[in-house]
Amino acid sequence: MHNVQNHINWCWATAAKIVGVEYCHRNRLPIHAGINIEHANTIRKDCQGLRPQICGLCKGMLTVDAMQLDIVEHAKDTYRNPSGNLPEDDEGKARALRYIITGNPSSISPEIVTIGHYWDEQGLLDSSPSLIDEAIRSGTPFIGNYQRQDGTFHSVVLYPMSSSKLKLFDPWDGFQGQFSISQIFRSGFLTNQGKGVILWIQYIRPE
């Protein structure tokens, strides 16, 4: 399950992987050579937080999706998250996207746009409709973030299907569903994780 997060806190890296790889494919760009291993597994000696039901097994040791692990190792905050076992913030997701596309997590390009915040009381459809439209018109999947019922924040991937509909992919379990833009950003959608509303998004600005 290479697009299902192998670690309880790797939704940020898995969502970035899906979006970044798709961006490269659509724009005929090479995926950074160090992570051009979309369907490979590797052993991770640190098993803290790994999901055994998702991970593979080799010689009695858990294996993880090699690209997920590579993204974590290169895009994590080395000061606050040296083990890579903690969740990352928006900067971590932006670093991951730039690493996939350029090989340099600190690159100034491409531009990663973040709109909205988890504390915003006003929904994105009301505060930033033109930027939502820009993200959708790009045609490239982008990252959506929301608060789950248990209070934790979670990243999913949103695929533009039309000007009024998006497909949601949840890296936690591979759930897929199509929802209207109003459901995604205002009234709420339902996944296996429960109900949610996307509070903020991150997308790659078209050049």
Q: In this predicted model, what pLDDT tens digit does every residue of 80-117 receive, in sequence order? A: 999 999 999 999 999 999 999 999 999 999 999 999 98
Mean pLDDT, residues 114-131: 88
* HSE (side-chain half, CA atoms, 13 Å) at 123: 13
**Residue 119 confidence (pLDDT):** 79
Q: What is the mean pLDDT of residues 73-81?
A: 97
Q: What is the spatial distance between Cα 158 and Cα 93, in angstroms, rounded to a whole number?
A: 15
| pLDDT surpassing 80 at residue 34 | no
What is the percentage of the chain residues whose pLDDT exceeds 70? 96
DSSP β-bridge partners for residue 61: 58
Q: How confident is the model at residue 40 (pLDDT cuts 50, 70, 90)?
A: confident
Residue tagged 């709109």 (tokens)? 115
What pLDDT is attached to residue 144? 98
- Name which of 97, 95, 83 is nearest 46 in CA terms: 83
Tell me the three state secondary structure of residue 191: strand
What DSSP state is assigned to residue 138? T
DSSP 31-99: PPGGG--TT-EEE-S--TTB-TTTSEEETTEEEEEHHHHHHHHHHS-TTT-TTS-S---HHHHHHHHHH
At 1 the pLDDT is: 63
pLDDT bin (cut points 50, 70, 90) of residue 37 is low
Q: Which residue has the tokens 């039309």?
A: 162
- pLDDT band of residue 12 (cuts 50, 70, 90) is very high
Residue 110 preceded by cis peptide, ω within 30: yes
Q: Which pLDDT score, from 0 to 100, does residue 149 have?
A: 87
Secondary structure letter of residue 110 according to DSSP: S
